[in-house]
Amino acid sequence: MTSTANQSIMPMTARINDLNHLEIGGCDTVGLVKKYGSPLYVYDEYTLRTCCREYKEAFAGYNNVFVLYASKAFMSRTICRIMESEGLGLDVVSGGEIYTAVNSAFPMEKCYFNGNNKTHDELEFALSCNTGRITVDNFHELKLLNKIAKSKNKTVDILLRITPGIECHTHEYIKTGHLDSKFGFDLSQLDEAVSLIKKEYLNLTLRGLHAHIGSQIFETQVYADLIGIVIEQFAYIKEKFALSLDEMNIGGGLGVKHNENEDPPSVYEIADAIITSLEENLKRYNLVGPKLIIEPGRSIVCNSGVTLYTVGSSKQVTGGRKYIAVDGGMADNPRPSMYQAEYTAMVANKAKNAPKELVTVAGKFCESGDILIGDINLPGTEPGDVLCVFATGSYNYSMASHYNRVPKPAAVIVHNGKSDVIIKRESYQDLISFDLIPERLTKGEINYI
């Protein structure tokens, strides 16, 4: 079956040019660091758009599919514009993501708002922006959303998020479909939720169910199993409540390739498993096919992105490993320390050079655990070399912090030899721009107790 971009570590346009430099999107990565500095997030527009199109093509065998980009993976105004131009909707999970979408002139009817603890202000904002769907996660939110909708004299289309009880082989922190999860209604709670919507919460219209089984999924069968569970609930709700649901959101979660040890299925493989299971289960329960909604995030944006660092100091431990340090680390990519994520890298200015030594790539932050790559074979490195870490397009900028008061890096997008800044590099002034000093401390009125 045809391979897809999530199965390749590098962006699709990656090549080595005549200078022995890594090139992405027609741009020399060494030149990008000279122009924009480092650390630097780089996104390949061709790979990003190809991933969007692969999803649409793979699911074309089902006649009513809507692909949402899970914007928590990486969101900016430029990303919103690209998703709109590719015909995708947005899965948003906060007021900030909604605000970004609105200020990118994104069609808000194509946004679905998820989250397990949406605030009153966020829900009110979502309604004022005419966000297309609210995925309700719990009883508190059902009551709160109905109250807000009633106050605005609105009727809101919702989905109910359920926990289907499916375990998948992924990191414990990114499993979201098993029963012991903070997300969604247990199936045992579904009766009560639907009854409340039909009898009391009359400003809410139930359109369907949402279920998400986790992230970095490398199995296709779990998607087929998920379809069976959700469609069974569709049939149950139709029989018990005389309510025909017409939307089924099965989340995202398809794994991507960060290193040679990972072998995720292609988008076409999961699409085949999902569509086959959906058709079989619709036939089993004699149901009309609902709109199928999928929410890929990581598998759309991850492999289009790389991070460029500049190598600085090194340390050879007597009788032990060699460390090389770069000018970034856990603040711009916390995933190795959080999830034990593993990455692949290349010395971008020595792209063809053969590996010469086994090293550990360390970050610059004041933590012993600030290790980006545990052991990797690289050519001999020296200060000033450019290290390119692949498959960093998802969750790196999204989860970046100001730890050690280090400004966040810039992000650029490359295409056909051109590069454009999509997120500016922060300055030291940006770091203190929200700091305030109480007036009493500016006048020396300090009392020590």
Active site residues: 366
Query: What residues does 112 pair with on adjacent strands?
Result: 91, 133
- Counted residue by residue, the chain has a size of 449
d(Cα 42, Cα 422) in Å, to the nearest integer?
10
Q: Is residue 82 classed as helix, strand or coil in its secondary structure? A: helix
Helical H segments across 217-266, by residue range: 221-241
Query: What residues does 23 pair with on adjacent strands?
Result: 15, 28
Q: Are 66 and 292 in contact (CB under 8 A)?
A: yes
**How are strands ordered across the β-sheet holding 27-28?**
15-16, 22-24, 27-28
Q: Are 256 and 390 in contact (CB under 8 A)?
A: no
- DSSP letter for each residue of 12-77: TT-EE-TTS-EEETTEEHHHHHHHH-SSEEEEEHHHHHHHHHHHHHHTTTSSSEEEEEEGGGS--H
d(Cα 248, Cα 153) in Å, to the nearest integer?
27
Residues 6 or more apart whose CB falls under 8 angstroms from that of 258 comprise: 9, 302, 341, 342, 343, 344, 390, 391
* Tokens describing residue 104: 């990118």
Helical H segments across 302-418, by residue range: 335-339
Burial string for 66-75 (b: 16+ CB within 10 Å, else e) reads bbbbbbbbbb
Residues 6 or more apart whose CB falls under 8 angstroms from that of 85 comprise: none
* Tokens describing residue 177: 């479909």
Residues 6 or more apart whose CB falls under 8 angstroms from that of 169 comprise: 217, 218, 219
